[in-house]
Amino acid sequence: MKFLLQVLPLPLKPISCYYNTDLMVTTKWDEKRSRWYCRAVEHSNYPLKAVAVLTPLLKKCDSVIDFGAGCGALSIPIAGKLKRVTAIEPSIWMYRLLLKRLKKAGRKNIKAYNTGWKSHRLQGELHRKLKSHDMVICANLPENVVCNINFLRYITKISTKFIVYIQNAGEWNKFYYKDLYPMLFKKKYVYGGDYKKTCKFLHQHGISANIKIFNYFHDQPFEDFNDALDFWQHRLKIKLTSREGKILADFLKKKLIATRKRFSESRYESIPMGRADRSVGTTGRNNTLIAPFGLRKAVLIWWES
Ligand SMILES: C[S@@+](CC[C@H](N)C(=O)[O-])C[C@H]1O[C@@H](n2cnc3c(N)ncnc32)[C@H](O)[C@@H]1O
């Protein structure tokens, strides 16, 4: 822990936050992954679409806990509809982005905590101190958290009205892996599965949840082409050979587009990457370089606690 304290600079001064390095839960959300995710959130219509489906429930609530809040994709927009929001985020990198975005949004009714769920409890003092809120939201959290019986018991205890899970629905060509795996690794990409596993888990524990599917765009913006290459290297978690690197670069040149528009406002007015590569498009000054992943589906799973 001492080592971590030495390498990690102190976080920005938060608006309203509780930071305790002893409580850090390790997650795969490192600096780069968090930064890319946050850029995608800011470009995406996911917050807008998710809040729209949540609104009928939010109208009956004053307070919400956003578990694994990330950079505040939901905490920030829902705060405008509520008296108080508690955002819980274990990754220090996501947490810092959350604080930065809270400050920018000027929301005074959000408290952020840098902690998370680990094996059987919420780490640190907060586990006992967290007061009940009307709603608990768990959006896009790992399966080992949302399908954990201790976690389910805990959120049931601290929620007075509703529990909401948001997850992927149906299959999508995650980061083009369906195309890339055969080309790079000579094997098929096997998709990890969607919300049906969660519904089965809930059902086993006597919960027949309501579900509502919604569509959204969640494309990935990049600073430039090298940033995009770095994203895939980072996500694939291996050092590509020069042959694999070339296959990836050639593939991405055909897929990525430069655009001034946000979240596929019907269709990107695109400049093909081949041309954008030589223009201002890849510098990030006027255009953004985007990996368009197409229309995706998510599901709101909710029940009364
Ligand atoms: C895909 S992001 C989703 C962020 C946000 N909920 C959203 O919908 O945009 C997943 C988040 O879950 C958080 N997370 C991962 N493991 C967790 C745990 N054990 N307890 C709480 N949050 C966790 C990660 O740090 C990350 O910020």
In which domain, by residue range, is 39 found? Answer: 15-304
Query: Which helix (H) or strand (E) covers residue 142, if one does?
Result: none
7 falls within a domain: no
Amino acid (1-letter code) at residue 251: F
Residue 66 has pLDDT above 90, yes or no: yes
Residue nearest to atom 16 of ligand 1 (CA): 27
CA nearest to 212, candidates 303, 148, 294, 90: 303
Number of domains present in the structure of the chain? 1
Residue 277 has pLDDT above 50, yes or no: no
Residue 124 makes CB contacts below 8 A (sequence gap 6+) with 20, 22, 23, 115
CA nearest to 70, candidates 57, 44, 58: 44
pLDDT tens digits along 47-63? 999 999 999 999 999 99
Residue 261 makes CB contacts below 8 A (sequence gap 6+) with 268, 269
Any atom of ligand 1 within 6 Å of the Cβ of 145? yes
6 falls within a domain: no
Any atom of ligand 1 within 6 Å of the Cβ of 116? yes
142 falls within a domain: yes
Q: Which of 29, 38, 147 to probe ligand 1 with, by most ligand atoms within 8 A of CB?
A: 29
Query: Which helix (H) or strand (E) covers residue 235, if one does?
Result: helix 225-236
Give the CATH number, domain containing residue 45: 3.40.50.150
Residue 287: the pLDDT is 65
* Residue 274: DSSP 8-state: H
9 falls within a domain: no
Percent of the chain past pLDDT 90, that is, above it, reads 76
Q: Which atom of ligand 1 is nearest to the CA of 122?
A: 20
* Residue 237: DSSP 8-state: T
8 falls within a domain: no
C-alpha angle with apex 139: 133 to 145, nearest 5 degrees?
85
Whether the CB-CB separation of 30 and 14 falls below 8 Å is answered with no
CA nearest to 77, candidates 112, 99, 49, 96: 49
Cα(295) to ligand 1 centroid in Å equals: 22
**Between residues 261 and 188, the one the model is more confident about:** 188
The pLDDT confidence band at residue 200, using thresholds 50, 70 and 90, is: very high
The pLDDT confidence band at residue 24, using thresholds 50, 70 and 90, is: low
110 falls within a domain: yes
Helix, strand or coil for residue 185? helix
103 falls within a domain: yes
Whether the CB-CB separation of 259 and 268 falls below 8 Å is answered with yes
Measured in whole angstroms, the distance separating CA 21 from the mean position of its chain's CA atoms is: 22
Whether the CB-CB separation of 225 and 277 falls below 8 Å is answered with yes
Q: Hey, what long-range contacts does 8-12 have (CB within 8 A, 24 or more apart)?
A: 8/92, 11/92, 11/95, 11/96, 11/99, 11/114, 12/96, 12/99, 12/100, 12/103
pLDDT tens digits along 128-150? 999 999 999 999 999 999 999 99
Residue nearest to atom 22 of ligand 1 (CA): 68
41 falls within a domain: yes
What sign has the CA pseudo-torsion 267, 268, 269, 271?
negative
Mean pLDDT (whole number) for 97-104: 97
SS3 content of the chain, % helix, strand, coil (to 5): 40, 20, 35
Query: Which helix (H) or strand (E) covers residue 63, if one does?
Result: strand 63-67
Residue 282 has pLDDT above 60, yes or no: no
Q: Which of 74, 102, 140, 154 to probe ligand 1 with, by most ligand atoms within 8 A of CB?
A: 140
